[in-house]
Chains A and B, each alone.
Chain A
Amino acid sequence: MKAAEIYRNTAAHVNRFIWSRRMQRVKMAALGQHTNDGWIARIMIYFLLSVLAYLYLQPLFYIVSTMFKNLNDLLDPTVKWIPRTIDLENLRTAWLGLNYPEAFMNTITIALACSVIQVFICAMTGYALAKLPFPGKGIVTFLIMLTFLVPPQIIIIPLYVVYSKLGLLNTPLVFIIPAFLGQGIRSALFIIIFRQFFKTQPATLEEAAKLDGASSGRLFFKIMLPLARSACLVVFLFSFIWYWNMYYEPSMFLQNDYLPLSISLNRLDEVLTGLPKGYVDAVLGSNPVSEAPKMAAAFLIIFPPLLVYVFLQRWFVEGIERTGLVE
């Protein structure tokens, strides 16, 4: 009799123990040991990120879906995302309206040339600020910060006069020469990125190179610049994309012959309707007929940088982590 009772007690104990272990395991699985390895946390993360990712991608979807709509689909409220027929006519209109091959060449000339130059010049300046001794470094750093804050709108008119005196207007040189002089698009930011990067490099490297008799120029080009590959990539990509998308400066400096894509997009309405821009805006408002070609044009514009990004994305993210954009 007693033995049976002891047995029952023990069995209950063991059962309870097993049960609590099981509960704990479920709890562990659900909530996790750290923040992020339980499945509740994981589902939350995925859910939040998916919603946000949808919001991010929505305009992109909008561009692509509108691009393929013909007029009937555009005016039909029941057609929201997927057009009934895939209409490539818009793409053709946009191609012709943007004068795509020429505008593309113009844009890519400016973007490529300027961003390559900018990588070199900003690396040089950043290196000097991080590693080379010279009096007045503090002032230079302060002035660089200041240039980051000066809005282009303040100095655009004097710049316009300067460039027109030099005869640079309506040529790509109007962007290439400033890039050479370290005043390209957001160059201050890039100089600071390079400065932070070179600061993290140990001084022993330079000392060793100097002992081996390398000149400063050689030291910079043969040792420091290759070391800064990840920073170079980040700067190049940012710079390329910002030059590609730049609108304000070209709208001032490149008005006649040398049109980049962003300006052509702005003028698409005029080209398509043959009416002056102000008239189109005032009378037609947002013109539904030109909506689809415009989106096709937008797609044509963002497609090349998108392609570049897809290929360089992996290194880009790694590079950002490694550049040590640290204060």
Chain B
Amino acid sequence: MKITRQRHKGFLRYQLQQYGVGYLFILPWAIGFCMLIAIPLGWSLFMSFNKVVPSQGGFKYNFIGLQNFKDAFVKDNVFPIQLIEYVQEMLIMIPVIVIFSLLVSLLLNQSFPGRFLFRAVFFLPVIFATGQVLTELFSQNAGKIPFLDQYDLEPVIRSYVGQEFAKPILSVLNKTIIVLWYSGVQILIYIAGYQTIPKSVYEAIRIDGASPWDSFWKITLPAMVPFISLNALYTIVDLFTFPLNPVLEHVKNNMFKPDTGYGYATALAWIYFAIIFVLLALVLWMFNRSTKRRGDGR
């Protein structure tokens, strides 16, 4: 009896020690999370319900409830329009980027001489797709796709698609290079994904007489669903912090305006965040459903 109790105690101590090691390993992250994420998040949420006036050595808060959020839609005549336009654009850009990078990664996954050279070129965007260099290129109109002007496609699109839809489509076409340049990481993720499909599956299906076309639809695509969803999520987050994003520009401008201030700016940022969050949840839900229907719990 005594021995078992002692043993039990020893086991408990061992387990606690194990837990301790685990906590020790995530300690830096935990401190960082509290200090640099949790507190600022709570603070900014608090700010968004206040009119924040910078005063000497800090801020003065006047609680105004939901006034900031109301102002964003009622008083502000720039924000709602920009928001709707940008979301519209993103809804087109996300599928375009996800599908485009899937196709490119399929091509790059074939074995042919000189593949590494092409791979190197296609990963290049990862290096400078972020940041000021791209913005600078855009301000000089170097981001345009050359065919668009050469063949004068703009009026064609306008007459066929209709004014309402032509605008976002044209702006996507104008940013084709951005679409290309923002698919670097996605291509990488897809290529990593292909390596998880065992070669023997392809051999088996070929012996069964399936054409490559079949094997793409029956093997490759279903196996890629989790990666497609991962890429969709990554793309959303990535576009969200796009350097040319007009909404964030507006938020930033409002921060330093005396009549609107930090409180209003954070309210705008929270509205934006909420929309993106809904979008992300929607994508997650969609992909979860599609994987569940197939009946394997990936």
Contact = CB atoms under 8 A, between A and B. Distances in A.
Contact of A301 (B133, B192, B251): B133
Contacts, number: 237
A96 interface: no
B290 to A, nearest CB: 14
Q: Is the interface of B mostly helix, strand, loop or mixed?
A: helix
A170 B128 CA distance: 24
Interface residues of A, number: 88
A162 B36 CA distance: 9
Q: Is the interface of A mostly helix, strand, loop or mixed?
A: helix
Interface stretch (A10-18, A19-27, A151-159): A151-159
A158 B44 contact: yes
A59 interface: yes
Nearest to A291: B140
A279 interface: no
A124 B130 CA distance: 27
A293 to B, nearest CB: 11
Contacts of B29: 121, 125, 140, 144, 181-183, 191
A7 interface: no
Interface string A130-150: 001111010010011001111
B237 to A, nearest CB: 6
Contacts of A128: 22, 25-26
Given A301-B133, A309-B124, A158 B111 contact: no
A53 B272 CA distance: 35
B112 to A, nearest CB: 6
Interface string A51-66: 0110111111011001
Interface string B36-52: 11011101100100000
A238 B23 CA distance: 27
Contacts of B137: 59, 62-63, 298
A291 B25 CA distance: 50
Interface in B147-192: 176-177, 180-181, 188-189, 191-192
B39 A154 contact: no
A70 interface: no
**Leading 6 A-B pairs by shortest Cβ distance:** A181-B32, A245-B131, A134-B22, A182-B29, A128-B25, A158-B40
21 contacts: A34-B212, A49-B108, A55-B177, A56-B122, A59-B177, A129-B26, A134-B19, A140-B29, A154-B273, A155-B37, A241-B127, A241-B128, A241-B130, A245-B130, A247-B131, A262-B131, A262-B132, A294-B136, A321-B192, A324-B195, A327-B226
Interface of A: 34-36, 42, 45-46, 48-49, 52-53, 55-60, 62-63, 66, 121, 124-125, 127-129, 132-135, 137, 140, 143-144, 147-155, 157-159, 162, 178, 180-183, 191, 216, 220, 238, 241-242, 244-248, 262-263, 265-266, 286, 291, 294-295, 298, 301-302, 305-306, 309, 313-314, 316-317, 320-327
